[in-house]
Structure 1
Amino acid sequence: MRAAVLDRFGAPLTVRTMPEPRVDGGEVLVEVLATCVLPYAGEVFAGRRNYPLEPPVIPGFGGVGRVVRIGPDATRLGVGDLVWCDPTVRSRDDALTPDIMLQGLSSRGEGGARLARHLPDGAFAEFMRVPTENVHALPAEARDDPARWSCLGVYLVPYGGLLAVGLEAGETVLVSGSTGNLGSAAVAVALAMGAGRVIAPGRNRAALALLAERFGRRVRPVVLTGEEDVDRAALSTAAQGPVDVVIDLLPPSAPSSVTRAAAMSVREFGRVVLMGGVGMLGGADLALPYPWLMRNSVTVRGQWLGPRPANTGMIRLVASGALDLAPDRVRTFPLDSVNDAIAYAAAHGGPFDRTVLTPRAG
């Protein structure tokens, strides 16, 4: 098979012939039709994000494909099925605290690194070996546009966070980082899940206007000034009532003060979920005040991605029309143009811009 390989950090990916993966019990071989290229993929491959990826490796963050081969433990999947491949792989020998890796992208701790060494290669290839439990059947309509459906992974991130804090219909959600690629997806997901109102802070006025135009009155944009107290007051004013949930998806380059201003706009007994990269590359700590947390009974939790059933829930949201992917701007690239795709994704990382690699298009 042909695949795009990262031989070392800082080097361009090279497309070359590699052995086709061999699947064992508990695994599925998938022909990769489309995979989303994340806007920060170039930073990862350059080594600037310090992800524990171990070259040489075929990268790639999940995708849409056709089942080629299944193991004896697969009772519902069939050869030829169109499927979504979830990149979040969990160890099977500890149900309470499983080790986790992102296939073709990252891992957590030594246990996650061991998983990544066993299943290192991602979706930038014609074929991919995937754990059986990570393969999810897609509805028939996905066959018409697998490239668009391959961007499910972007939406799955905030969906996992909003599930973790138990978002309920009618609640007000504040999305910290709303003008970014993941943050704008969080706005869309929160509304699809029934949020009554979404507060969307940011400095990019054009991106804020795009969110307001796409979603109407349920989205309340707030232009940030960089002054923490001023911004916190503006966020509360925009909410016109209590903020029930705050979800943070800011990148490592963002200052912790922006996350803190958003988090401290939440109501008494409110919930805050942290999913971004603030502090990952150094900088000031988040430093939420102990008395404020305690006296207001605020729940703060970190969340790295979502549980396995989130994949089914996300597919249902899209299939039902509650989450509409049609307005997303999707640009596709063939496998041979993988480095062009990475550069394009970096330059087009705004709201609802999607870059897709198509290793086996057609």
Structure 2
Amino acid sequence: MRAAVLTEFGAPLAVREVPDPVAEGGEVAVEVLATCVPPYAEDVFGGRRNYPLEPPVIPGVGGVGRVVHVGPDATRLRVGDLVWCDCTVRARDDALTPDIALQGWSSRGEGGARLARHLHDGSFAERMRVPTENVHVLPPDTPLDATHWSSLGVYVIPYGGLLAGRLEAGETLLVGGATGNLGSAAVATALAMGAARVVAPGRNRAALDLLADRFGDRVRPVELTGDETVDRAAMTAAASGPIDMVLDLLPPSAPASAARTVAMTVREYGRVVLMGGVGMLGGEDLSLPYPWLMRNSVTVRGQWMYPRSANAAMIRLIASGTLDVTRDRFTTFPLAATNTAIHHAAAHPGPYDRTVLVPSA
């Protein structure tokens, strides 16, 4: 089969012939039909994000495909099924604190690194090997094609944060980084879950206008100035009432002060969920005032990715049309143009822009 291989950081990916993956017990082999290219992929492959990938590796974060082989322990999956392949792999030998790796992308700690060495390769290939529990059947009668379904990998990440913060219908959410790729996905997902309104701060006026045009009065855009006091007051005013939850998805390039500004808009007894990259490239650490946290009984928690059950729930949201992915802008590239796709994704990181690799085309 053909695959796009990261041979070393800083070098273009090499599209070449590699052996077909062999799925064993507890695994499934899938023909990859579509996979989203993250806007920050260029930074990962260039070594600027210091991801613990070990070249040579076939990268890629999940995708949509057709099952070509199932192991003996699969009881529902069938060859030919259209499936979503979740990249979030969890070790099977510790249910309480499982080691985690993002197949073909990243890992956490030594245990995660061991997982990543076993399930080394991702979805930038004609075929991939996936743990059985990470393969989710898509509705057979869906009008959506594989390209549309590939956007599930973008939406399910902030969905994990919204679940962690226990967002309820009728609540007000504020999204830090709302004009970015993941932040805008959080806005759409929260509204699909029944949020009454979403406060969307950002510096990009055109992106803020896009959110307002797409969702109407339920989205409250706020153009930021960089002054913590002024921006916090503007976000609080835009909410027209208490902000029940804050979801931070700011990128590594954002200063800690930006994350602090959005976090401290939350109401007394409110919840703050941190999912962004602030501090990952160094710089000031996030500093939330102890008295403010304690006296306002604010809950702050981190969330990396999402629980396995989120995949099935997200499939239902998309299949029902409650979360409409057909309005996203999709640009597709064949496997031979992987490096072009990576550059395109970096140049189009905004709301609802999807760069999709179609390896089997």
> What is aligned with 1:22?
22
Instruction: Look up the match of 1:107.
Output: 107
Q: Structure 1 counterpart of 2:200, which letter? A: A
1:142 Cα shift? 4.5
Once the two structures are superposed, the pairs formed by residues 169-318 of structure 1 within 5 Å of their partners are: 169-318=169-318
Q: CA deviation at 1:165?
A: 1.1
- Give the deviation of 1:139 after TM superposition: 1.2
Instruction: Choose 29-38 or 144-153, whichever is displaced more.
Output: 144-153
Q: Could you tell me whether the CA contact under 8 Å between 1:82 and 1:143 is conserved in 2? A: no
Pairing of 1:83-162 with structure 2 (within 5 A) = 83-142=83-142, 144-162=144-162
Structure 1 CA distance for aligned equivalents of residues 63 and 135 of structure 2: 10
Superposition pairs of residues 321-336 of structure 1, within 5 angstroms? 321-336=321-336
Segments of 4+ in structure 1 off by > 4 A? 141-144
Distance 1:143 1:108, change over 3 A: farther
Separation in structure 1 between the aligned mates of residue 25 and residue 66 of structure 2, nearest angstrom: 18
For 2:81 and 2:14, the matched residues in 1 are separated by 30
Classify the secondary structure of the residue corresponding to 1:266.
coil
Residues 26 and 132 in structure 1, CA contact (< 8 A), matched pair in contact too: yes
Q: Please name the residue that 2:10 is paired with.
A: 10
CA–CA separation in structure 2 for the residues paired with 1:202 and 1:121: 35
Q: Distance in 2 between matches of 1:304 and 1:201?
A: 22
The answer for unaligned runs of 5 or more in structure 2 is none
RMSD of the alignment, in Å?
0.7
Secondary structure at 1:210 match in 2 = helix
Q: Secondary structure at the match of 1:250?
A: coil
- Tell me the distance in 1 between the aligned counterparts of 2:221 and 2:202: 8
Asked whether the equivalents of residues 142 and 149 of structure 1 are also in contact (C-alpha less than 8 Å), the reply is no
Kindly provide the CA deviation profile for residues 296-337 of structure 1, in whole angstroms up to 9, marking residues without a partner as x. Answer: 000000000000000000000001111000110000000000
Q: CA deviation at 1:63?
A: 0.3
Partner of 2:68: 68
CA distance in 2, matches of 1:108, 1:257: 26
Aligned residue identity for 2:259: T
Q: Distance in 1 between matches of 2:47 and 2:220?
A: 37
1:268 counterpart letter in structure 2? E
Task: Give me the whole-angstrom Cα distance separating, in 1, the residues matched to 2:92 and 2:189.
Answer: 29
TM-score (norm 1): 0.99
Partner residue, 1:56: 56
Give the Cα separation in 2 of the matches to 1:338 and 1:151.
18
Q: Per-residue CA shift, 1:95-115, capped at 9, x if unaligned?
A: 000000101110001100000
> Aligned-pair distance for 1:144?
4.5
Once the two structures are superposed, residues 259-291 of structure 1 have per-residue CA deviations (whole angstroms, 9 ceiling, x without a partner) of: 101000000000000000000001111100000
Q: Secondary structure at the match of 1:213?
A: helix
Tell whether 2:52 aligns with 1:40.
no
- Percent of pairs with identical residues: 75
CA distance in 2, matches of 1:141, 1:259: 42
Give the 3-state SS of the residue equivalent to 2:261 in structure 1.
helix
Give the Cα separation in 2 of the matches to 1:284 and 1:44.
22
Task: Flag the 1:217–1:187 CA change in 2: closer, same or farther, 3 A.
Answer: same
Rounded to whole Å, the distance in 2 between the matches of 1:124 and 1:45 is: 13
CA distance in structure 1 between the partners assigned to 2:39 and 2:140 by the alignment: 28
| 1:140 Cα offset (Å) | 2.5
In structure 1, give the amino acid aligned to 2:161: G
Matching residue's letter, 1:27: E
Matched residue type, 1:3: A
Task: Name the CA shift for 1:236/1:144 in 2 (closer, same or farther; >3 Å).
Answer: closer
Unaligned runs of 5+ in 1: none
Q: Secondary structure at the match of 2:216?
A: helix
Secondary structure of the structure 2 residue equivalent to 1:64: strand
Q: Which amino acid aligns with 1:139?
A: P
Number of corresponding residues: 361
Q: Aligned AA for 1:39?
A: P
Residues of 1 paired with 2:317 and 2:97: CA distance? Answer: 28
Give the match's secondary structure for 2:75.
coil
Q: Deviations over 1:201-227 (max 9, x none)?
A: 000000000000000010000000000
| DSSP-derived class of the 1:178 partner | coil
Aligned to 2:324, the other structure's residue is in SS state coil
What amino acid does structure 1 have at the position aligned with 2:199?
Answer: I
Task: Give the superposition deviation at 1:356.
Answer: 0.3
Are positions 1:348 and 2:348 aligned together? Answer: yes
Q: Which SS does the other structure have where 1:9 is aligned?
A: coil
